């Protein structure tokens, strides 16, 4: 395993890319409402990324081994779609939940983040899933510091999710990120505390748990990208890019209009 550590210049570059990714989601937020299509959201994202931010979409034409090139600028996963949903011309309707996952490249550095959006009036169960998934991500982030183990992150997420009756998708995980979209290490969202790779100051990685209201089993759609729950249950995901520091963490994908952090983040002794 080859893990890249960021020097001072790298940290600056990652901070800029992360902030821009968060600001892209801020820009998209007021447009996400019943009647808009995910293709329209994708076009808004591409235009804002290139024309306003002077950046490039990382997903567009991205083609890891064994995959056809991804055809859009963002990923949009609706309801039982877990991740990597391809934007299309189907209008969103009231009651849908939507994950918008954006990654942009600015001056060679990648910023990667995603949020859940509730379209119109959604069910209590859907709201609960979105909230608990957000909180689970932060439970994992709170474990990040130099000297901790990756297993600490996954364990915190798994215990919180399963303790609230949700299941953790295991086939997809977070990852190191920097000059490359995906780098070592893999960041599992389940696991045993005290195991796995030791975190080092200067590492940048994503924490992005995918939690299902039903069983954790997933399958791939025929487009080769979209992942859905096998039991058709709702799925939710949030993602931040995080810098490991000597004393803890720095979330790089925050902006002025990012969702408020949970109360327990501000009072970690109460977790």
- Residue 268 banded pLDDT, cuts 50, 70, 90: low
Token pair in block for residue 250: 């720095």
196 domain residue, yes or no: yes
Pair 151, 195: CB distance under 8 Å:
yes
Q: Is pLDDT at 1 greater than 90 in this prediction? A: no
As a whole number of angstroms, the distance between CA 227 and CA 176 comes to 21
Look at the block and give the residue holding tokens 């899933």.
129
76 domain residue, yes or no: yes
233 domain residue, yes or no: yes
User: What CATH number corresponds to the domain at position 199?
Assistant: 3.90.230.10
- pLDDT tens digits along 176-235: 999 999 999 999 999 999 999 999 999 999 999 999 999 999 999 999 999 999 999 999
As a whole number of angstroms, the distance between CA 15 and CA 84 comes to 24
- β-pair partners for 118: 97
3-state secondary structure of 18: helix
CA torsion 129-132-137-142 (nearest 10°) is 180
H or E stretch including 251? strand 249-251
- pLDDT tens digits along 94-111: 999 999 999 999 999 999
Predicted local distance difference test score (pLDDT) of residue 266: 87
- Residue 66 banded pLDDT, cuts 50, 70, 90: confident
117 domain residue, yes or no: yes
As a whole number of angstroms, the distance between CA 221 and CA 203 comes to 33
DSSP state string for 174-228 = EEE-SSSSSEEEEE-SS--TT-SPBP-TT-EEEE--EEESS-S-EEE-TTSS-EE
- pLDDT tens digits along 169-180: 999 999 999 999
Q: What percent of the chain has pLDDT over 70?
A: 99
Q: Is pLDDT at 9 greater than 60 in this prediction? A: yes
- Residue range(s) defining the domain that contains residue 189: 8-266
Question: 10 Å Cβ neighbour count for 259?
Answer: 12
Q: Is pLDDT at 146 greater than 80 in this prediction? A: yes
CA 240 to chain centre: 6
Predicted local distance difference test score (pLDDT) of residue 270: 42
185 domain residue, yes or no: yes
For all residues of the chain together, what is the average pLDDT? 96
How far does the chain reach from its first CA to its final CA, in angstroms?
32
15 domain residue, yes or no: yes
Q: Backbone phi, then psi, for 125, in 5-degree steps?
A: -65, -40
Pair 209, 238: CB distance under 8 Å:
yes
2 domain residue, yes or no: no
Predicted local distance difference test score (pLDDT) of residue 269: 55
Number of structural domains, the chain? 1
User: Of the candidates 40, 1, 39, 47, which has an alpha carbon nearest to the alpha carbon of residue 196?
Assistant: 1
Predicted local distance difference test score (pLDDT) of residue 51: 98
1 domain residue, yes or no: no
């Amino acid at each position: 395993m080859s893990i890249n550590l960021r020097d001072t210049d790298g940290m600056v570059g990652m901070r800029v890319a992360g902030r821009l990714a968060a600001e892209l989601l801020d820009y998209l937020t007021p447009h996400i409402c019943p009647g808009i299509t995910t293709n329209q959201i994708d076009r808004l994202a591409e235009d804002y990324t290139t024309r306003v931010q002077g950046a490039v979409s990382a997903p567009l034409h991205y083609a890891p081994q064994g995959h056809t090139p991804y055809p859009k600028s963002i990923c949009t996963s609706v309801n039982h779609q877990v991740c990597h949903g391809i934007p299309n011309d189907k209008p969103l309707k009231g009651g849908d939940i939507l994950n918008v996952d954006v990654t942009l490249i600015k001056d060679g550095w990648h910023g990667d983040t995603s949020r859940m959006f509730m379209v119109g009036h959604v069910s209590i169960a859907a709201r609960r899933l979105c909230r608990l998934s957000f909180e689970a991500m932060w439970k994992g982030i709170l474990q990040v510091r130099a000297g901790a183990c990756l297993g600490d992150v996954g364990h915190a997420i798994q215990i919180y999710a399963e303790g609230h009756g949700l299941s953790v998708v295991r086939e997809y995980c977070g990852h190191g990120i920097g000059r490359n979209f995906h780098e070592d290490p893999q960041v599992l969202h389940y696991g045993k505390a005290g195991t796995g790779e030791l975190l080092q100051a200067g590492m940048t990685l994503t924490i992005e748990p995918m939690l299902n209201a039903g069983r954790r089993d997933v399958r791939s759609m025929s487009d080769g990208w979209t992942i859905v729950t096998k039991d058709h249950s709702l799925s939710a995901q949030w993602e931040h890019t995080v810098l490991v520091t000597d004393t803890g963490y720095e979330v790089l994908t925050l902006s002025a209009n990012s969702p408020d952090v949970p109360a327990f983040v501000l009072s970690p002794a109460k977790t």
